[in-house]
Amino acid sequence: MLSIYNTLTKQKEEFKPITPHNIKMYVCGPTVYDYFHIGNARSFIMSDIIRKYLEFKGFDIMYVMNLTDVDDKIIKKSNEEKVEPQNIAEKYTKAFFEDIEKLKIKKADIYPKATDHIDDIIGMIKELKANGLAYEVDGNVFYDVRKFKEYGKLSGKKLDELESGARVEVNIEKNDPLDFALWKKAKEGEPFWKSPWGAGRPGWHIECSAMSCKHLGETFDIHAGGHDLIFPHHENEIAQSEGATGKKFVNYWLHFGFLNIDNEKMSKSLGNFFTARDILKKYSAEAVRLAFSQTHYAGPLNFSDELLASAEKGLEKLNNLAEKIEEEIKANVTNGVTPEFDFEKYKSDFVSAMDDDFNSPQACAVIFDFIREVNRTVSSNKKTNTEFYDGVKNFLKQTAEGVLGILDFSKVLKKGGGELQNELIELFIKIRTDAKKEKNFALADKIRDELKEIGITLQDSKDKTTYKIS
Ligand SMILES: [Zn+2]
């Protein structure tokens, strides 16, 4: 039985999809105004692992992630860089797809964009107005939070408590400082669309309500996002969606914990801000995924070089075994022994771990126990039949590769890719050494960085450079 901790009910519940075998899942995606940071990467990777586990269990999943492509941050950046907001959004949408691919994240079925859904958004705002939950002030439309009786049910916040801490914006006539914008009146130099309330653009929260409804229906199974989105974003999504349709919006709400860097909050001003791109220059995608998997998705995660270095170490064990598997499969041994090995036990341990609110740290522990027992089994037999390795590969392919994404057999195979590959790498090393001699460090660094991008890490020692393929 799969159980999930539901932020809405604040307890672990048995997971029951609306339609058997089918799951509809929505994850809040990026605002495409910059490269996404390592905290966002945690949400994207953990949602990917959850999705892949549900697929492993045989569910068919419709997985939707929105792209916020019109927003204050995009407009600010476009003013700074003196290019159209649309160009900013396009540039960082492209970067987003490059980065998720490098992180081994499976693409969503749909990536709806806010600017492609302006009509749906306007339609929902009209419904909210018709239902008496929204009001217009001088070309702006606001949600009237006091009119939605269940406001606060997700975050557990009380309106009156929020009220005392609310920041009162000057110049805007709202009924209540907590009321939020559904539609913002166009300002000079900003992108706008026509609406019944005049030219303007949608507020941020409404896009997720309108687009999830369009692509997944009025009520769907799972909605996930970072912990920081519980309030106000997800609270507002519930108010909008349930206010418009009168139906329950989402059955299970999942939230990913905060990510700190060396026990401090990540921030540009502290100089400890890292994009996923930065991290992938130093560490493999598998290491990042393992480091994340070894902490429960809902808990806080302290990101550090030690954490990543220890993940790389763990991966060595996994990769060494994967290499051995490939060699043994190539060798095709049939005249040895096929040891007794309880593959089913490991599979069921993996499943019980993940069934318990996606307990990936426990699932990782099962995989490392499995590696240890395989190694023990192999060393206690003189010659092991390939049949045994087929079983080992099958288990790792389904779990470590298929669900957690901490192993990539296609890379292991490439490793034996012959002399030509090795010669080419040696050639690059030679060109780089020559470049360094000529003090062309820009070229030398470029060679090192680009090799790293394709999984070849150069290691400089006193008088020579060696390489490692990950
Ligand atoms: Zn959202």
Question: What is the structure's pLDDT at 413?
Answer: 66
Q: Which of 74, 117, 121 is nearest to 93 (CA)?
A: 74
Ligand 1 centre and the CA of 233: distance in Å? 6
Q: Which residues pair with 337 in a beta bridge?
A: 384
Ligand 1 centroid to 115 CA: how many Å? 14
What's 295's DSSP letter?
Answer: S
- What pLDDT score was predicted for residue 417? 53
With b for 16 or more beta-carbon neighbours within 10 A and e for fewer, the 16-53 pattern comes to ebeeeeebbbbbbbbbbbbbbbbbbbbbbbbbbbbbbb
Secondary structure of residue 222 in the 3-state scheme = strand
Encoded tokens for 91: 């540039």
Q: Compute the distance from residue 65 Cα to the ligand 1 centre, in Å.
A: 9
Q: How far is the CA of 355 from the centre of ligand 1 (A)?
A: 26
d(CA 458, ligand 1 centre) in Å:
41
Q: In the block, which residue shows the tokens 């307890």?
A: 11
H-helix or E-strand spanning residue 328: helix 305-331
Instruction: Please tell me the distance between residue 30's alpha carbon and the centre of ligand 1 in angstroms.
Output: 9
- For the record, the structure tokens of 251 come out as 């059955």
Give 7 Cα–ligand 1 centroid separation in angstroms. 15
Instruction: Give the three-state DSSP class for 405.
Output: coil
As a whole number of angstroms, the distance between CA 160 and CA 174 comes to: 16
If you measure from the C-alpha of residue 67 to the centroid of ligand 1, how many angstroms do you get, rounded to a whole number? 9
Among 469, 460, 466, 461, CA closest to 322: 469
- 434 C-alpha vs ligand 1 centroid, how far in Å? 51
Q: How far is the CA of 102 from the centre of ligand 1 (A)?
A: 24
Q: How far is the CA of 19 from the centre of ligand 1 (A)?
A: 23
Question: Ligand 1 centroid to 55 CA: how many Å?
Answer: 23
Cα–ligand 1 centroid distance for 208 (angstroms): 5
Return the structure tokens found at 104: 């081994």
How confident is the chain (470 residues) per 10-residue block, as mean pLDDT? Answer: 98 98 97 96 98 98 97 94 95 97 98 98 98 97 96 93 71 84 94 97 97 98 97 97 98 97 90 93 96 98 96 96 93 93 98 98 98 96 93 98 96 63 86 92 93 89 83
Distance 98 CA to ligand 1 centre (A): 22
3-class SS letters over 259-285: EEECCEECCCCCCCCCEHHHHHHHCCH
Contact present, 120 and 211 (Cβ < 8 Å): yes
Among 220, 189, 214, 238, which residue's Cα sits nearest to residue 84? 189
- Ligand 1 centre to CA of 23 (Å) is 18
**pTM of the entire structure?**
0.88
CB-CB contact of 309 with 357 (8 Å): no
Residue 396's nearest CA partner among 362, 361, 370, 432 is 370
Helix (H) or strand (E) holding 235: helix 235-245
CA of 320 to the centre of ligand 1 (A): 41
Ligand 1 centre to CA of 205 (Å) is 6
DSSP 155-204: TT--HHHHHHHPPPPTT---SSTT-EEEEEE--TTS--B--TT-SEEE-H
| Ligand 1 geometric centre to CA of 234 (Å) | 7
Say how many Å lie between the CA of residue 227 and the centre of ligand 1. 12
Residues 204 and 68: beta-carbon distance below 8 Å: yes
* pLDDT for 168: 64
